[in-house]
Amino acid sequence: MTEPLQRKEVVAARAIKVTFGAVKALDGADLVIHSGECVGLVGHNGAGKSTIVNVINGGLSPHEGTLTYGGSAVHGISAARASGVRCVFQELSLCPNLTVNENARIMHAELKGWNWRSRAGELVRGQLQKIFPGHAIDCDSTVDDLSIAERQMVEIAISFAGLNQRPKLVILDEPTSSLDAGLAAQLMTYIRTFIGEGGSVLLISHILGEILSTSDRIVVMKDGRVVADRAAKAFNTHSLVEAMGNVVREQEFSRKVTERTGAPVLSMPPHPRHGIAFQAYRGEMIGLAGLGGHGQTDALLDLYLEHNSNWWPSRKREIAFVAGDRSLNGTFPLWSILKNLSIASLGQLSSRKMVSDSREATLGSGWKQRIEIRTPDMQNRILSLSGGNQQKVLFARALATTASTVLMDDPMRGVDIGTKQEVYEILRSEAANGRTFIWYSTEMDEIRLCDRVYVFREGAIVAELVGDEISEKNVLAASFSEGEAA
Amino acid sequence: MKLSSGTIRLIIPAASLALLLAAVFYMQPRAMSYTGLNLLFNLAVPIALATIAQMLIMSVNDLDLSMGTFVSFCACVAATVLQTSPLLGVLIFIGAIAAYAGIGVLIHVRELPSIVVTLGMSFVWGGLAVLLLPSPGGTAPSWARAIMTAKPPVVPMAIVASILIAAVTHYIVIRSSFGVLMRGTGGNDRSVERAGWSVIGIRAATYALAGLFAILAGIALVGLTTSADANIALRYTLLSIAGVILGGGEFVGGKVSPIGAVIGALTLTLAGSFLSFMRISPDWQIGAQGAILIVVLALRLALNRLEKREKHQ
């Protein structure tokens, strides 16, 4: 790479391919980490960062390609741990019901024998003191009783600690997402010390400032591949954002400039500390963009619950919701396609509290034609459909209601491109008829279909893009903060 | 000094036991004696053991609905085979522990709901018990009888046994490495797995240990009653679950407390006596016992909420 000296490889993943069904999560990605270097890994959602981390830590075996630890090809979580690979995951992965010491015992199998409790305490306390000098964490307290930042600090300390053998490679996946600026700076300083002592770090972060200042080398991933792999000095914020994004495709959208008539259909005050307010007008298609998990789904749920009480659903509903996670909160797996479609509009379909079969069947056949649900019989089980067609049924469920506003929580995950185009058409025509769509999507192509886009970061709306401002570059620039976490 | 959440969790069960005990002593001062205490808490020993077994299962986020029939089965084995040919009896018990470990593996590997599997197993254990002892009978092994009716100086056997059970299980569940792994599996099994442990092994060992405690419950029960019956411990299923919850445990998340579970079992037993002293007819006792449970749980919820509010400030 950039070093003329041939350094020792800690982990080498070459030409890795991983597929989940039809989705190519990794499509021939290469990632080699040498001892004594900090590699920054950046990329947009779905670029394959988490997948390659899971391959390196042994949790996922690649379908193709080679993976070696220090030259030897072994597999599995224990093999990766034995090779000195440790991982701090994005979602906190401590046991919340155990104390800090007990968590250290779980992470460090070598802490056995008499009096492990106090030795674990010493280990974690010492490491915490090294990374975050002046912290106030009591190692005998239960993880449940710690704040989110403290939990993250504990997890980082446990991963860097080593009883007999120091870790060779520590993977940090968004380690500063819940640390404040001061703690994040302490961590970055420690990473440099650790590198100086010969360890390696793979740093994943959406805060480009951290990546640029701390890494020796930056790897940019896109669509399951490594698209750039250069020394950190060769990048600046601007060129890094550009490397992550697509080359702007020339595509014509019939994006209309909505005349904002009357009062907004939906509105939400800005986040208490920062950000801007949310407003939606009739007939608009509004995109919620930004990196995944930065408060978009919560915003949708807030909008929904504001109009539909949690306790007592109103008779006439103004808002319909299209769930993103089909199997978790979308389909009723034991029901027929028709029942799955009509569940939201049973009120309209019934007279004197009895559902009219004929009206239900009419509704079903109407939508079957309009949205092209590919099935011989609407009475078939919903699971007989492909994922894309199941998703169409969920769209039809929302659109068949009288609701004037439809909230969509990244509904196109795992849907093939053909189905997407069909659904986009229908959404467009429905919007033209005066329906309002609020659409959270992690896919840039979908965000570009919207009339107006709100970009989320850390639970708040940080930017509003209208019309031609909606471009991948602008969305990326807004979702990656340049400096420290707000 | 700031109390840890584990200590706070124990306050309510301990306070409710003390309150009930005070009420019983107030109504029936003669209970405040060696014999009186022994009589009050005698039947609590097998319930406490069964509660511990249930607590072990609950610490890995499962639930055992076969506890009652399994303890009945063990009581029948203890009153028949263990008495006549001890070696065969021990072998049967070892087989039962292996079966429990197998159930744990099955539930983990096939990702089955534990409620369904154990509900099915309850019919198996019930059937085996009836095969062994079609009509009530059998004799308790003399050693079991001797242990259960022993009269240690100063403190009655029931209290000594309860303290012993609480101390031993506290060591296993809270202090030992195995206990940490077990509760860790309940709290976040993915992170235990990522750290390189075999979650299957941990589950199997937990189930096996639960089987062992349930067997001890069966033997203790026979030691008290001197004979057995295929339906002798059916109500233990719900009693054991209630005991764990009453003692500060939770259904999910690996939050369990062995000391609390023993206290919970004692409280449940005492609640029965208390209601008898109140001259409440047996028809109403189950309902009244339920009411006591609801009051204690409501108190705990209120305390939890208070704790959460403090944390947010």
Structural domain spans, chain A: 9-244, 259-318+403-486, 334-402
Q: Distance between CA B177 and CA A115 in Å, rounded?
A: 10
Among A282, A305, A278, residue whose Cα is nearest residue A456: A278
B269 in Cβ contact with B246 (< 8 Å): no
Size of interface A-B (CB pairs under 8 A): 67
Contact A95 B187 (CB under 8 A): yes
**Mean confidence (pLDDT) of chain B:** 91
Residue B182 has pLDDT above 90, yes or no: yes
Residue B4 has pLDDT above 70, yes or no: no
Digit-coded pLDDT (tens) for B251-286: 888 999 999 999 999 999 998 888 888 888 888 887
Is any Cβ of chain B less than 8 angstroms from the Cβ of A59? yes
SS (H, E, C) chain A: CCCCCCCCEEEEEEEEEEEECCEEEEEEEEEEEECCCEEEEEECCCCCHHHHHHHHCCCCCCCEEEEEECCECCCCHHHHHHCCEEEECCCCCCCCCCEHHHHHHHHCCCCCCCCHHHHHHHHHHHHHHHHCCCCCCCCCCEHHHCCHHHHHHHHHHHHHCCCCCCCCEEEEECCCCCCCHHHHHHHHHHHHHHHHCCCEEEEECCCHHHHHHHCCEEEEEECCEEEEEEEHHHCCHHHHHHHHCCCCCCCCCCCCCCCCCCCCCEEECCCCCCCCCEEECCCCEEEEECCCCCCHHHHHHHHHHHHCCCCCCCCCCCEEEECCCHHHHCCCCCCEHHHHHHHHHHHHHEECCEECHHHHHHHHHHHHHHCCCCCCCCCCEHHHCCHHHHHHHHHHHHHCCCCCEEEEECCCCCCCHHHHHHHHHHHHHHHHCCCEEEEECCCHHHHCCCCEEEEEECCEEEEEEEHHHCCHHHHHHHHCCCCCCC
Q: Distance between CA A299 and CA A314 in Å, rounded?
A: 21
User: Angle at Cα B112 formed by Cα B108 and Cα B117, nearest 5°?
Assistant: 105
pLDDT (average), residues B106-135? 95
Among B9, B61, B177, B199, most A C-beta atoms within 10 A, so best to mutate, is B177
Is any Cβ of chain B less than 8 angstroms from the Cβ of A335? no
With cut-offs at 50, 70 and 90, classify the pLDDT of residue A1: very low
| Token representation of residue B252 | 């999910």
Higher pLDDT, residue B217 or A178: B217
Could you tell me the end-to-end alpha-carbon distance of chain A, in angstroms, rounded to an integer?
34
A-proximal residues of B, 224-263, CB under 8 Å: 253-255
Q: Distance between CA A271 and CA B115 in Å, rounded?
A: 43
Q: In the prediction, which pLDDT does A484 show?
A: 41
Query: How large is the greatest C-alpha to C-alpha distance in chain B, in angstroms?
Result: 65
The helix or strand, by DSSP H or E, that contains position B158, with its residue range, turns out to be helix B157-170
Compute the CA torsion angle A485, A236, A249, A257 (nearest 10 deg). Answer: 50
Q: Find chain B residues with C-beta within 8 A of A77's C-beta.
A: 193-194, 196
Higher pLDDT, residue A89 or B96: B96
Is any Cβ of chain B less than 8 angstroms from the Cβ of A93? yes
Least confident of A70-74, A80-84, B102-106, B191-195: A70-74
Q: In the prediction, which pLDDT does A45 show?
A: 65
Q: Distance between CA A380 and CA A360 in Å, rounded?
A: 15
Is any Cβ of chain B less than 8 angstroms from the Cβ of A271? no
Is any Cβ of chain A less than 8 angstroms from the Cβ of B191? yes
With cut-offs at 50, 70 and 90, classify the pLDDT of residue A250: very low
Q: Distance between CA B148 and CA B105 in Å, rounded?
A: 34
| Token representation of residue A276 | 């801007």
Is any Cβ of chain A less than 8 angstroms from the Cβ of B313? no
Residue B146 has pLDDT above 90, yes or no: yes
Least confident of A29-33, A136-140, A253-257, A274-278: A253-257
Is any Cβ of chain B less than 8 angstroms from the Cβ of A140? yes
Compute the CA torsion angle B179, B180, B184, B190 (nearest 10 deg). Answer: -110
How many other β-carbons are positioned within 10 Å of the β-carbon of residue A464?
Answer: 16
Q: In the prediction, which pLDDT does A388 show?
A: 74
Contact B196 A109 (CB under 8 A): yes
Is any Cβ of chain A less than 8 angstroms from the Cβ of B194? yes
Identical topology for domains A9-244 and A259-318+403-486: yes
Phi-psi region of A115 (alpha: psi -120 to 50; beta: other; left: phi over 0): left
CB nearest B177 (choices: A57, A116, A144): A116
Q: Find chain B residues with C-beta within 8 A of A57's C-beta.
A: 194
| Token representation of residue A47 | 């670029």
Among A155, A447, A151, A174, residue whose Cα is nearest residue A293: A174
Q: In the prediction, which pLDDT does A9 show?
A: 87
Least confident of A109-113, B30-34, B222-226: A109-113
Q: Find chain B residues with C-beta within 8 A of A145's C-beta.
A: 4-5, 311
With cut-offs at 50, 70 and 90, classify the pLDDT of residue B178: very high
Residue A2 has pLDDT above 60, yes or no: no
B-proximal residues of A, 144-163, CB under 8 Å: 144-145
Residue B77 burial (CB < 10 Å; 0-12/13-18/19+)? buried
Q: Give the range with max mean pLDDT: A111-120, A255-264, A394-403, B134-143.
A: B134-143
What is the gyration radius of the CA atoms in chain A, in angstroms? 25
How many other β-carbons are positioned within 10 Å of the β-carbon of residue A311?
Answer: 5
Q: Find chain A residues with C-beta within 8 A of B193's C-beta.
A: 77
User: Is B137 strand, coil or helix?
Assistant: strand
- Tokens 């109140």 -> residue: B278
Q: Distance from A407 to chain B by nearest Cα, in Å?
A: 31
- What dotted CATH number matches A259-318+403-486? 3.40.50.300
Q: In the prediction, which pLDDT does A414 show?
A: 61
A8 CB-near residues (< 8 Å, 6+ apart): A34, A35, A70
Q: In the prediction, which pLDDT does A428 show?
A: 85
| Token representation of residue B196 | 């390189």
Digit-coded pLDDT (tens) for A40-67: 998 876 678 888 988 998 888 888 888 8
How would CATH label the architecture of A9-244?
3-Layer(aba) Sandwich (3.40)
- Tokens 């009096």 -> residue: A115
- Give the residues across from A267 on adjacent strands: A279
Report the amino acid identity of residue A275.
Answer: G
Among A208, A181, A192, residue whose Cα is nearest residue A36: A192
Q: In the prediction, which pLDDT does A269 show?
A: 78
A249 in Cβ contact with A471 (< 8 Å): no
Residue A434 has pLDDT above 50, yes or no: yes
Report the amino acid identity of residue B80.
Answer: T
User: Is B61 strand, coil or helix?
Assistant: coil
The helix or strand, by DSSP H or E, that contains position B90, with its residue range, turns out to be helix B86-109
Among B163, B150, B136, B125, residue whose Cα is nearest residue B44: B163
Digit-coded pLDDT (tens) for B21-67: 999 999 989 888 999 898 889 889 999 999 999 999 999 999 999 99
What whole-number percentage of chain A has pLDDT above 70?
88
String of b and e for A200-236 (b: at least 16 CB within 10 Å)?
bbbbbbbbbbbbbebbbbbbbbbbbbbebbbebeebe
Does the model's pTM come out above 0.80? no
Q: Give the range with max mean pLDDT: B144-153, B162-171, B269-278.
A: B162-171
Residue of chain B with shortest Cα separation from A118: B175
